[in-house]
Amino acid sequence: MLRHALFIVISQSGRSPDLVAATRSARAAGARTIAILNATSSPVADEAEFVVPIEAGQEHSVAATKTVIGSMAAAAQLVAELAGDHALRSAIDRLPERLHRALALDWSGIADGLAKASAVFVAARGLGLGSAREIALKLSEILRLPSIGLSAAELQHGPRAALSSRTPVIMMRLMDETAAMVDALADELRGQNIALHLCGGPRGSLPWLAADDPATDPITMLVPAYRMIEQTARACGFDPDRPPRLSKITETF
């Protein structure tokens, strides 16, 4: 039984059968169910007890970006309210302005290196891990480039052996307890002549804003990454909105 559990489902379309079934099952087992959705008229919304609308407007691109940012912001706000976290509430209040400012950050300088890469590693720690995985997904989806998103800690273990001059690393550094480890890793990778593109901190090489809250900075970091990926795709003659062999809504079970 899930009588004392909170079940949160996040979806753009709210139509995938696996999410519908999981939400229905969790609610039947006694969990409180919350759906964070862009499409509030959807099967998942019908199954959930509570719906948090993203309200990002219709998503036309296969590689959803605005709904990812909207979902993450909505989830952060939900956490802030449930936890009574006043610092996080303040950070969320600052988020719209920081997202707007992030549109001016230009990461295009790394585009040529990515275009020539055999693979890309995207790394972060803690609350940045989700954004690292998201950027890696978009690199694969839009630039058709083999990419993996992983914890920066993993680059101290097995995956480190796969790094070479042809596998650049994009790494995100947050102002939290993981910062010192990421800084040290950045120094190590650069000492081994690995092409490292670091966002955040005194060793950062990618344009960035002043650090803010480590729960909301990973959301803001997506903006310049998305813009760089879109610009690189267009320069390569790819349609960033319609990657090959993919459909807008994937129904899995």
Instruction: Classify residue 89: in a domain, yes or no.
Output: no
In a domain, 221, yes or no: yes
- The pLDDT, as a whole number, for residue 220 is 98
pLDDT at 231: 93
Per-residue pLDDT, 148 = 96
- Residues 128 and 189 reside in one and the same domain: yes
- What letter would DSSP give residue 218? H
Residues 154 and 222 in one domain: yes
Q: How many CB atoms lie within 10 A of CB 59?
A: 20
Residues 227 and 106 both lie in one domain: yes
- Both 152 and 211 in a single domain? yes
CA–CA separation, 118 vs 189, rounded Å? 18
> Which one of 46, 68, 90 terminates a domain?
68
pLDDT along the chain (253 residues), means of 10: 93 92 97 94 96 86 85 96 97 98 97 91 97 97 94 92 93 97 96 95 96 97 97 88 66 63
61 in a domain, yes or no? yes
User: Does residue 88 fall inside a structural domain?
Assistant: no
> Does residue 241 sit within a domain?
no
In a domain, 250, yes or no: no
Domain hosting 40: range is 6-68
Residues 116 and 193 in one domain: yes
Q: What CATH number does the domain containing 150 carry?
A: 3.40.50.10490
Distance, CA of 126 to CA of 131 (rounded, Å): 10
Please, are residues 122 and 152 in contact by the beta-carbon 8 Å criterion?
Answer: no
Are residues 106 and 59 part of one domain? no
Same domain, residue pair 49 and 149: no
Residues 63 and 106 placed together within one structural domain of the fold: no
Q: Give CA separation, 150 vs 21, 27, 31, 119, 219, in Å.
A: 29, 32, 31, 13, 17
Residues 46 and 120 in one domain: no
> Both 64 and 116 in a single domain?
no
**Considering its fold, how many domains does the chain have in total?**
2
- pTM to 2 decimal places: 0.92
> For position 236, what pLDDT does the model report?
87
Q: Within a domain: residue 163?
A: yes
Indicate whether 78 belongs to any domain. no
Same domain, 112 and 229: yes
209 and 106, same structural domain?
yes
Compute the distance between CA of residue 60 and CA of residue 53 in angstroms, rounded to an integer: 18
Strands 147-151 and 169-172: unpaired
